[in-house]
Structures are given as structure tokens and as C-alpha cells.
Amino acid sequence: MSFAGLRAERQSKQSKSFVNAGPKDTAASADQSKALIPTTGANASGGRGSSEPLYRVLPASVDIRSTTENGRGIWAIRPMHAGEIIFQTKPHIHVLSTKNLEHFCSSCVSPAPATGLKRCTRCRVLWYCSASCQNSDWALHKQECSAMQRWAAGAPSPDVAIPAEPIRCLGRVLWWKQKQGLQSAWARELDGMQSHRTNLPPSATESHTHLAHAVIRYLGLNAPGELGAFGITTAADIVDVISRFATNSITMTSPSLTPLGVFVSPPVALINHSCEPNAVVVFPRSSSNLAAQEPLTQVVALREIAVDEQIFTAYIDTTLPFSQRQQALAATYSFTCNCTLCSKYPRIDPRESIWCPKSCGGTCTFPSEEDPLTRCVKCGSAVPSTDSILDAIRIGQEALEKATTVQFNDLEKALQLTTNIIPILTSHKLLPSSHPLLALTRLHQSLLLASFPPNLTQEALDNVIRATSASVTGISELLCRGHPIRALALAELGKLLAVDEPSPRDSKTNTVFPPSGPARLRLAYETLVQAHNELKIGFGEENEGGEVGHEIREMAVRVEKELAVWKQGVKNVIEDTPKPKSGKR
């Protein structure tokens, strides 16, 4: 296996999107109960003088309903199994992030082929993998192309010569809405997405205003009053457009969950949030016969879903503790979460727990300033020195924030922070799944992969395997079997275990982790098989786990062949070794 390819792939995952992953047609805002469509029927008409049905991509297996508590959402009307594709759709609008424009096709979002991408000769900003992709995108890019040229001509520096993703995405939304017709089903689906205009926090008002002015300039208009052609006639309309985008835009990812850009999809935005989701939104790139529909969004069931059960996805990182999840949801989506996970709080949460001080195998919840006394739930032992635990958690959080900030411009400093702080947290008996230990471990793993020496050493390889194994342990405690993040973590561990060892250890020292030689190869195979099984859930059973699932399956087959060769070699050695002659005493 080539390690250079693995290193390059992991380094590419350090890119970040400007929005949090997750749509928002949220259920817990002040105006949730105002259903914008009938409470039943996935293909119900949205009114407004048109009989054209809305949400035609939704299958007969789901239903759109509205409740006072949850607002609009999607319900299953038949049983669904883990790994089932609930529905799939091409986004209404998608754009790549600026740093990815030169590396992915702006139409189908596939990575650059061996022959390279072809650049638009007019704006010289967008790139395409083929003439067919460029032609299919021209209906949208035609006005965008001129807008980009105007924008670049008025840019004060080359650094801002390309509009940011929100500006480009909103430009495409408005142009295509105008082309499709303001009363078309496409436009009415967009207008039906949740807006939080009536309860925007003060912090959002300024950013929304700046974005609105930038979009007006990008469209080539002189004043907000010229937006009538796009169905925007009042200041409230402008705020609604910006708010709908900010609330409902979703991070577009690669098959390995690397952020690539942003997209808008009203059918996907119908799905409400839970910190214990039963479904997930992915871009698996499953098969060649669907290439014309790429980037194809799929909503996949993570577990069994019963009849009349609401379908939920997660809008945020659910490995975060309760308070941070609530803060993130309130800041971005303007609601307080009362999902099954949040409503159980407070309880012993593996995100905020330490091991029993008497090592009985039980756990204790984190102490707090208000309640420093905490006991083991198994043996009742009180945790001593809670002040030092609180200090360690605080230091860990500060280190996480600093390392995250400097990781791209000072990798060495970031790696030094994670290397020094992780042992402090583990010495205070934080669970591998607890925060900020898990977040630091995952960042540490990423930094180790990015900083591999040109000539791979056994120590460097073993260190990143240990960090990856610790990440898998923590993630597996929090995320269900088949969750894409968990499945990909297992896949990464399997890949690393399958890398050829530069200096295999002697069998006498093979009691430490990771093992060496044949034992490592066996562990690699077992991990890859488990990863493949979980990828088939998170990225769709019908897809065989998508692009990553196919890659891991092929790797597992290769490792299995290596094991067979090794076993046959041992067998041959045993058979060729002369047996000692028996003699009389």
C-alpha cells in the first residue's frame, strides 16, 4: 500500500467549511407551528396559485407532517432498516469553497481526473472535468460568469477577487429562481424553508446586512429596490432570503466527509434535528450510472426506523457535551434542543465523565464549580482533588481552541499542544470519549498524519496508530454502529494497520499495542471488515458503502490474500523441517 496517497488524503481533510454540517428547517423556533404545507402528503401542493406538487423527490415511504413541538418534519410510513437509502436528490444549488475550485469539478464535484480540469476561459474561476459538465452548468454559470468578472474588476486585492461561498451560492439561488419562475415548485420549495427573521440575535443582524449588500453588488444591482425581479420587494424579504440560507445551507462533503463547499436542498432541510439521529446526510458517490446526478445527496437510515417514527439527522457535532451542543444550536439555528439525548440530561454522560478513583470499572460525572462533589455510580467512591480535575479540563479546552486555530499555519505548535495536554487529561482519568480529550485526540491524530517524516519510521507509524485507536475507542462510545464518522475512523485505523512496517518488532516485544508482523496484519483485516460492514450502513447498503466502502473492501481482500500467503509459507516451513528421530533411552 502506498503511504504517500494515504498521507495526502488525510492532509486534505484539514480543510473546513464556512457552515456547520446540517440543514435547518428547525422545529423549535417561535413560529414553528406555522406549517407551510399541508400536514400530510410528501407530494402535497404548496398553493400560491399553482397546482404543481412540491417535494417530488420524496418517496411514498415518507410523509411530511407538522406538529406544535417540532414544526414540519419527515415521518416514516413503513418500517426502514439500517443502511436503507430513505431518499436521494440532487441539490437545488451547490457551490465549491474557494480553495476547492481548482481541484474539483464545479458541476459534478468530482476530483480532478488524470487529464486535469478545464477552466472557464471567461471568468477563469470555475473548473470542469469535461465539456459535458461545463455545458450542463452553463445555464447557471452564464450570469455568474459575468458577475465574477465584475467582482474581480472591483476587488481591492487578489485575495478577495473571488466572492465567498455564501455570496456565490445566493447568487445562483436568485438567478435560478428567476429563470424557473417565482411561482414554480422549485422557487416555492425555497421560499418554504424556515426563516428566523423574527428572532434573529443581534450578533446575526450585522453579518446578514453585510451579506445582503455583497449579494446586491454581486448581482450587478445598485440598490435593494432593484431586487423585484427576484421576488424581493421589501426589507423583510431580503432578511428572509439571507436567514433561510444561513439556517438551511448544508456542508457539501466528499465521500470521506471532507468539506468541499455548501449546498441548498429544501427536501433535506425538512428533516429535523436530534443529537441521537436515526439518519444521516451523505454524498457517497455510489455508482457510475448515477454520475449525471452528481453531486447526489442521500439520506440514509442509521438504525431501524418504525412506522410513524420521525426521521432525524444531526446538525452539529454530537460528540460535544450538552452545554456546547445547546450553545451551537441556539447560535446557528435559534432553538433549544429537547431530543432524547438532551432531555435525559443531567446523567452520567460519557462526554463528561472520569473513571472511578478506586478503579472499580465505574465512572463519575465531571465535577463542577457549583457541585464539586462527584461519586462513582458503581461503588460510590468520592472523587478527591476535584479542583485539579476542573483545572485539567479548563486547560484542555484552552489547548484545543489554540491548537485548532494554529494547526494550519503552525503545525509544530499545534502538535506540541496536543502531545503535552493529552497525557494530563488521561492522568486525571478522563474517559476516551470525554470532552475535550476526544476532540484533542482526533486533532492529534490528524496532526500526526500531516507531519509524517519523508522516510516513514516505525515509531511515527505506531504513534499515529495509537492515536487513531484512541479516537475509535472514544467515537465508538458515543456514535452508533454504522455512523459515517465512526465507520470512517475504523477505516482509517484499518488502513494504517495495513501499511508495511518499516522495522517490524521482535516477536518477544509483540505484547504492546499495536502488534507487529502477522498479528498486525490479522488485526488490519478484522478492522477493515468491521469498517466495511459499518460503511454499508452509514453510506448505504445499496451502495456497498459508497466510494470509501468499495476502497475498503478491495483493501480487505488484498490483506486477506497476504494472510493466506503468510499462512501457506508457515505451513511449508513446518512440512519441510525434518522431524527429530526418536531414540531409546
In the predicted structure, residue 550 carries a pLDDT above the cut 80: yes
Sign of the Cα torsion 494, 495, 500, 501 reads negative
Q: What is the mean predicted confidence (pLDDT) over 255-275?
A: 96
Residue at 585 is within a domain: no
Sign of the Cα torsion 182, 188, 193, 195 reads positive
- Crossing angle of the two packed helices 386-406 and 437-450, in degrees rounded to 10: 40
- pLDDT tens digits, 202-214: 777 788 889 999 9
| CB count in 10 Å sphere of residue 279 | 25
- What residue has cell string 485507536? 469
Residue at 145 is within a domain: no
Could you give the residue ranges of the DSSP H alpha helices within 122-194? Answer: 131-154, 165-180, 185-191
- pLDDT tens digits, 70-95: 789 999 999 999 999 999 999 999 99
3-state DSSP call for residue 364? Answer: strand
Residue at 9 is within a domain: yes
Sign of the Cα torsion 461, 465, 467, 468 reads positive
Domain count across the chain: 2
- Tell me if the bond preceding 266 is cis, omega within 30° of 0: no
- Domain termination residue (choose one: 298, 333, 368): 333
Q: What is the mean predicted confidence (pLDDT) over 35-53?
A: 48
- CATH number, residue 48: 2.170.270.10
Q: What value does the mean pLDDT of the chain take?
A: 87
Pairwise CA distance, residues 78 & 474, whole Å: 34
Residue at 263 is within a domain: yes
Residue at 152 is within a domain: no
- pLDDT tens digits, 107-135: 999 999 999 999 999 999 999 999 999 99
pLDDT at res. 20: 35
For residues 522 and 529, the answer to whether their CB atoms sit within 8 Å is no
Pairwise CA distance, residues 86 & 79, whole Å: 11
Distance of CA 419 to the CA centre of its chain: 25
For residues 470 and 506, the answer to whether their CB atoms sit within 8 Å is no
- Domain termination residue (choose one: 309, 333, 357): 333
Let me know how many helices (H) and strands (E) the chain has, helices first: 16, 14
pLDDT at res. 512: 84
Distance of CA 235 to the CA centre of its chain: 34
Residue at 439 is within a domain: no
Residue at 560 is within a domain: yes
pTM passes above 0.75: yes
- Domain termination residue (choose one: 333, 352, 376): 333
Residue at 452 is within a domain: no
Q: Structural domain of residue 205, as residue ranges?
A: 3-101+162-333
Pairwise CA distance, residues 21 & 281, whole Å: 9
pLDDT at res. 507: 61
